[in-house]
Structures are given as structure tokens and as C-alpha cells.
Amino acid sequence: MSKIVKTPKPPYYTVIFTSIRTEGDNGYDEMANQMAELSAEQTGFLGMEHARSEGLSVTICYWENLEAIDKWRENAEHKLAQAKGYEMWYQAFATRVCKVERDNIFEQK
Amino acid sequence: MSKIVKTPKPPYYTVIFTSIRTEGDNGYDEMANQMAELSAEQTGFLGMEHARSEGLSVTICYWENLEAIDKWRENAEHKLAQAKGYEMWYQAFATRVCKVERDNIFEQK
């Protein structure tokens, strides 16, 4: 089961990636798994939350700071995946870089 | 099918709500539909993206500014829903208030 990421005290950063896929796999799943593993190894990575339903996929990646996000964006393997994303995997997507200013994290006792 | 929200040029704001439910419905679905309708009527509401899988639900709500978010948080019907959320609907949740600093929105031609 997916988990809610235990983030530090704000401010920290997040990239919200919402996407609608094209038909077929076309190597997507393999790449998505690779990118999930690779991003988790980057300096400043805090965690990832993911859900997908009714054609919409949402991936929320948490990072310590903007520098970590910019470095990951420029990662060579990630750039290849991005290029294929534009070319064949996504019908539409939005990438949003955000500063988390406050949060409220609750867990039932 | 869910859609990617057409947001204005940054900065704008977002509330990321990730949650893991308790067992059973307990009136949840009806409330969730009511809150989705009611939030969409609020001043400053820009749109909502939602996905749910493997037990994790992600709702991303976009807003023009922090004032709109604070006003919605204090809405009387919403406060009742929040109270029930703590009491019975959620095993765990995180609410994160974020400033969207930059974005990249793509649609296949």
C-alpha cells in the first residue's frame, strides 16, 4: 500500500506531476519504475506519493529545496525519459513546482 | 475522465490532500461529492485533480491565493466534514498548502 510521506517541517518543496497517457505501454512501465528508483537516490529527495484512476495519474515528489529539483530535472537518464514523454507516452501532462508553506499531518491513534 | 486543470500563469496556490481511509463508507462518498461541489463554488477556486489507487487518495485543489484557501478552510459545512474526517473517515492524512512557483503544461497536438 502507498504511504503518506513523512516530510520535515515546512518550508520544503514538491513537484506535482499530473498526466494522461497515450494508448499502450510502449516501454512506459519499465521507465516509470526506473525513474522512481533513480529519483529516490538523489540528494534532497524526501519521498513520493502516487495514485492513478479514471485515466489521470498523479505523482507528488517531495524535495528539500529547489536546487535538488533542478538537478534532478537535468539528470541525463531523466532527460531521456522526459523526451520520450513528450514524444510518445503522454497525451497531456502538467508539471508544477511548488513551495510547501504549511502542512497538517494526521495519523489515527 | 478526469482532466488536468488549466491553471493561470504562476504564482497561484494549491492544497495537496493525500489520505488513507478507514474501513467502510460511513457517509464518506456523499460528503466528498458535496465538498467537491461546494469548494468549486468558492471565490478563487481554479480547479481540482483527483486520483485514487492502492489505498491512497490524492486530491489537488488549485486556488488563486491564500485568502481563498483560508476562507474555504473556515467554511462551516467544510469544518463539519473536517471534524468527521478526524473522527471516523481517515486512518491518516496530510494537507499541504503550497505556492506554485512555476509550471509546464503540455498537450499533444
| Reported ipTM | 0.95
- Give me the sign of the Cα torsion angle A62, A63, A66, A71: negative
| CA–CA distance, B12 with B10 (Å, rounded to integer) | 5
User: Measured in whole angstroms, how far is the alpha carbon of residue A91 from the centre of its chain?
Assistant: 17
Which chain A residues are within 8 Å of B108, Cβ to Cβ? 22, 90-92
CA distance A109 to chain B (A): 9
A49 contacts in chain B (CB < 8 Å): 18, 56, 58
Please say if the pLDDT value at position A105 is more than 90.
yes
End-to-end CA, chain A: 19
**Does the pLDDT value for residue A1 go beyond 50?**
no
Contact A20 B4 (CB under 8 A): yes
pLDDT range class, residue B109, cuts 50, 70, 90: confident
Tell me the sheet residues that pair with A82.
none
Contact B4 A94 (CB under 8 A): yes
Measured torsion, CA atoms of residues B70, B75, B79, B81, in degrees rounded to the nearest 10: -110
